[in-house]
Every structure is written in C-alpha cells, then in structure tokens.
C-alpha cells in the first residue's frame, strides 16, 4: 500500500465535454487524472473530470499540475469539490505563458463577466505556484517535465515514486516521427499516457491543431519500452462503439483507450 503509485482517470475526453449514452464507457469529461502516492494526491489538469474526484483524505497534500491552460483543461476547476472545503490547502502549479503568471491567467479566466467568483475567493486555502521543473514533493516524489508541440505550448509530466514512473503526454502533436527528447523523457515509464485524438485519415485536415494520431502514439510507445499505455484526449465525437472497434485493431496487449473511472495501480 505504502509503495503503491495509483492513477485514476477522472476524465480523458479531448477538447470539449460531451454527454450521451454513446459515451458511457470511455466518458465525456475532459482531461483530469488523479495520482495517489504516499501522503500525496496529485491532480494532472483540471478539466471537468476533476469534478469526479473522490473525497481526498484530510491528511493528504493536494497538488494540481497544469499542462497548459486551454479551456478543456481548466473548466472543472470552479467545481473541484476540495476547493469549497474551508482550510483545505491546495498547491496549484502552472508555467508562465507569454509573461503572464499562472495566477493572473486563471484569476482572469474565472472572473466577471465570465464567472462570478475568482478561484482565490473560494473557501479553500488555495496557492498559485510557478511551475519550475524538476521539483520534488515530500521526500520521495520527483516531478520532471518536457515541452510538447501544441499551440501556445504544453508541458508533459513525469511523476516518479519509489522506483515507479508515470509519464503524461496530453495535447502533443507528433510530426512524422516522435520527437527524440520526448522519447528519451518517456523511456521505461511504467505507465505512459499519450494524446491519440485522431485517425491517420483525419490528420491531414487537423495538422497544427496540436494532437497526435493513434498510430503515432503506438510508434512512440514502441520506442520507449514503457510498460503500458493509455491513449487519451479522445476526439469529442468518437463513440464507445468506435473506440472499442479501434481498440481491437491495436495488436499490443498493454495499450488501450483510457476509460473514465478506471484506476491503474503500479
């Protein structure tokens, strides 16, 4: 239990939340993942999936790491249950974007006339932190980062705990080949999460949108020697039926599309 590194998929839908019975299995909530390691609960992104967070034990430290601030990665923040708990301490990390601090970016995104309450005004004890990688949490969690090709930029994260490692590469557009430094960064991860929004035949019209194809994610996986991979950032229109059909064509036993609500324990 104490050595466990656990990831729970709170939301893996790309670009925009979606609902309907055709999305029941893989889910319609946008990017958010919970990593539990020792005394730490680490959230990757705050899409509306973060609303699905189970209650976090009072004695656990909450850290939120932001890959970037596109809407689908921040819209869940005002509804994050822990934000409304008085005295709940939350560390929120994000990089500066074009000279603007993460505090400014988020406080402006959630303010009148777009939203009635700023995030800092919620009852929790909420702290904006400038993301500087690598960094450590407590004695035994190490967090590293890699730059990903995406409009406006995006950060891929590596989270290591007691010899195990999760790598999170959302919102990443690979060109013909996976980028060398991303392959190097992802080497031997126990669990890799990778953007696989598009099909090969869709990519020509989606070039420059900042997302990868399933086949490119599979090439990356093979080059890294990672233990297993969850494909994430599902295209908003891709139904359960289509995702399951696509999944059957993947000939690697350790690769599947992330299902909202599932946990992987390492």
Peptide bond into 17 cis (omega under 30): no
Binding to Zn ion (CB under 5 A) within 208-237 occurs at none
CB-wise, 97 or 199, nearer to Zn ion?
97
Number of alpha carbons in the 13 Å side-chain half-sphere of residue 41: 18
Binding to Zn ion (CB under 5 A) within 38-77 occurs at 70, 72
CB-wise, 56 or 182, nearer to Zn ion?
182
Question: How many residues in the shown chain lie near Zn ion by CB under 5 A?
Answer: 3
CB-wise, 128 or 172, nearer to Zn ion?
172
State the minimum distance, in angstroms, from the CB of residue 138 to Zn ion.
Answer: 29
Q: Which stretch binds Zn ion (CB under 5 A): 52-60, 166-174, 224-232, 236-244?
A: 166-174
Nearest to 30 by CA among 63, 74, 95: 74
CB-wise, 149 or 222, nearer to Zn ion?
149
CB-wise, 32 or 160, nearer to Zn ion?
32
Print the binding letters for residues 72-111 with Zn ion: x by CB under 5 A, - otherwise.
x---------------------------------------
Q: Which stretch binds Zn ion (CB under 5 A): 93-101, 123-131, 163-171, 250-258?
A: 163-171
Q: Determine if 171 is a binding residue for Zn ion (CB under 5 A).
A: yes
State the minimum distance, in angstroms, from the CB of residue 174 to Zn ion.
Answer: 15
The 3-state secondary structure of the chain reads CCCCEEEEEEECECCCCCCCHHHCCCCCCECEEEEEECCEEEEECCCHHHHHCCCCCCCCEEEEECCCCCHHHHCCHHHCHHHHCCCCEEEEEECCECCECHHHHHHHHCCCCCCCCCHHHCCCEEEEEECCCCEEECCCEEEEEEEECCCCCEEEEEEEECCEEEEEECCCCCCCCCCHHHHHHHCCCCEEEEECCECHHHHCCCCCCCCCEHHHHHHHHHHHCCCEEEEECECCCCCHHHHHHHHHHCCCCCEEECCCCCEEEC
CB-wise, 162 or 259, nearer to Zn ion?
259
Rounded to an integer, what distance in angstroms lies between the CA atom of residue 217 and that of residue 172? 10
Position closest to Zn ion via CB:
70
State the minimum distance, in angstroms, from the CB of residue 195 to Zn ion.
Answer: 8
State the minimum distance, in angstroms, from the CB of residue 140 to Zn ion.
Answer: 30
Give the distance, in angstroms, between the CA of residue 73 and the centroid of all CA atoms in the same chain: 8
State the minimum distance, in angstroms, from the CB of residue 72 to Zn ion.
Answer: 4
State the minimum distance, in angstroms, from the CB of residue 23 to Zn ion.
Answer: 16
Q: Which stretch binds Zn ion (CB under 5 A): 16-24, 157-165, 169-177, 239-247?
A: 169-177
Q: Which stretch binds Zn ion (CB under 5 A): 5-13, 167-175, 234-242, 249-257?
A: 167-175
Q: Return residues touching Zn ion (CB under 5 A).
A: 70, 72, 171
């Amino acid at each position: 239990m104490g050595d466990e590194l656990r990831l729970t998929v709170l939301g893996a839908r790309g670009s925009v939340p979606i609902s309907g019975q055709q999305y029941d299995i893989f889910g319609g909530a946008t990017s958010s993942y919970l990593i539990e390691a020792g005394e730490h609960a680490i959230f990757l992104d705050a899409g509306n999936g973060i609303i699905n967070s189970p209650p976090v034990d009072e004695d656990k430290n909450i850290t939120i790491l932001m890959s970037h601030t596109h809407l689908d990665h921040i819209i869940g923040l005002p509804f994050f249950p822990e934000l409304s708990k008085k005295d709940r301490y939350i560390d929120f990390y994000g990089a500066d974007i074009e000279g603007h601090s993460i505090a400014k970016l988020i406080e402006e995104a959630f303010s009148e006339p777009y939203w009635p309450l700023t995030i800092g005004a919620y009852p929790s004890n909420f702290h904006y932190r400038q993301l500087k990688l690598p960094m450590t949490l407590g004695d035994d969690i190490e967090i590293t980062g890699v730059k990903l090709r995406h409009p406006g930029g995006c950060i891929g994260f590596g989270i290591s705990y007691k010899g195990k490692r999760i790598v999170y590469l959302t919102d990443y557009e690979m060109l013909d080949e996976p980028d060398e430094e991303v392959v190097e960064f992802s080497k031997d991860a126990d669990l890799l999460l990778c953007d696989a929004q598009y099909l090969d035949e869709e990519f020509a019209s989606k070039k420059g949108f900042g997302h990868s194809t399933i086949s490119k994610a599979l090439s990356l996986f093979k080059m890294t020697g990672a233990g297993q991979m969850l494909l994430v950032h599902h295209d908003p229109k891709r139904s359960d039926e289509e995702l399951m059909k696509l999944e059957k064509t993947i000939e690697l036993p350790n690769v599947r599309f992330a299902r909202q609500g599932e946990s992987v324990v390492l």
